[in-house]
């Protein structure tokens, strides 16, 4: 592919290109306010490996404080059978990448409530953690996992006010969802596109963005 520009871009041209992206692809849209249980949807040109086309559930947040979230849609190459002893079912149980922090630790989100003793409610019918022996028994008995229980290695964390700053800088769009089973269903880019559609018509440019808008 030929490059139309072989000399360094002037800063004024770079700003013009950024403004073009914001106008055409609707990136420069107010991101909303974070809260526990809300979803963060990455803007389409975010390139970090962990967060490109990611959807994150905020598991812990307070204004003027730190925040924690779990990436919902990024698969790892691992299965639960690879990393936990005593998982007896033959069908591989997918493990997702929750983020770059503590990625040697296993986390799980679920809609099972007190079926898993010791769990913590995130919001309404969405829970995190609990007694892992109860989780292992649930899995080994062959109960459904998709839409009910999902496993993650690691989590995503923000220092004080960092998440608020990123939202102000249009890195994330914030939305609410009460369909918690849907949150634990699907993966990768189709999952991201599903939640971009839920943001409404103003965000439709996100769904059709090129991988690199300046490639041609």
| Separation of alpha carbons 211 and 216, rounded Å | 11
Predicted local distance difference test score (pLDDT) of residue 55: 98
Asked if residue 121 belongs to a domain, the reply is: yes
Decide: 136 and 87 in contact? Cβ < 8 Å.
Answer: yes
Predicted local distance difference test score (pLDDT) of residue 202: 86
- CATH number of the domain bearing residue 66: 3.40.1740.10
| Separation of alpha carbons 2 and 195, rounded Å | 35
Predicted local distance difference test score (pLDDT) of residue 69: 98
User: How confident is the prediction along the chain (216 residues), in pLDDT tens digits per residue?
Assistant: 333 333 333 434 333 333 444 545 555 565 678 999 999 999 998 989 999 999 999 999 998 899 999 999 999 999 999 999 999 999 999 999 999 999 999 999 999 999 999 999 999 999 999 999 999 999 999 999 999 999 999 999 999 999 999 999 999 999 999 999 999 999 999 999 999 999 988 888 888 875 555 454
Asked if residue 124 belongs to a domain, the reply is: yes
Tokens of 95: 């493990």
Asked if residue 100 belongs to a domain, the reply is: yes
Asked if residue 1 belongs to a domain, the reply is: no
| Separation of alpha carbons 19 and 5, rounded Å | 19
Quote the number of domains for the chain: 1
- The residue with tokens 């953690």 is 129
Predicted local distance difference test score (pLDDT) of residue 124: 94
Domain hosting residue 171, numbered range: 23-207
Asked if residue 134 belongs to a domain, the reply is: yes
Asked if residue 16 belongs to a domain, the reply is: no
pTM assigned to the model? 0.84
Predicted local distance difference test score (pLDDT) of residue 15: 36
| Alpha-carbon distances of 90 from 58, 141, 184, rounded to whole Å | 32, 12, 21
The sign of the torsion formed by the CA atoms of 40, 43, 47, 52 equals: positive
Asked if residue 178 belongs to a domain, the reply is: yes
Predicted local distance difference test score (pLDDT) of residue 52: 94
- The residue with tokens 């779990």 is 70
Tokens of 66: 């730190």
Asked if residue 101 belongs to a domain, the reply is: yes
């Amino acid at each position: 592919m030929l490059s139309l520009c072989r000399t360094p871009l002037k800063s004024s041209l770079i700003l013009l290109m950024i403004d073009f992206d914001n106008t055409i692809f609707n990136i420069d849209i107010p991101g909303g306010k974070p809260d526990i249980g809300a979803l963060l949807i990455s803007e389409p040109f975010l390139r970090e490996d962990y967060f490109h086309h990611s959807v994150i559930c905020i598991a812990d947040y307070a204004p003027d404080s730190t925040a924690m979230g779990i990436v919902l849609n990024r698969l790892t190459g691992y299965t639960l059978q690879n990393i936990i002893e005593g998982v007896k079912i033959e069908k591989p149980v997918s493990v997702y990448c929750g983020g770059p922090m503590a990625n040697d630790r296993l986390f799980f989100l679920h809609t099972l409530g007190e079926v898993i003793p010791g769990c913590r409610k995130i919001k309404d019918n969405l829970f995190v953690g609990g007694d892992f022996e109860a989780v292992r028994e649930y899995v080994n008995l062959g109960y459904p996992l998709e839409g009910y229980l999902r496993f993650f290695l690691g989590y995503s964390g923000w220092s004080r006010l960092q998440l608020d700053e990123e939202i102000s800088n249009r890195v994330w769009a914030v939305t609410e969802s009460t369909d918690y089973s849907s949150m634990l269903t699907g993966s990768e880019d189709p999952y991201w596109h599903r939640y971009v559609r839920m943001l409404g018509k103003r965000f439709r440019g996100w769904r059709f963005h090129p991988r690199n808008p300046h490639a041609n």
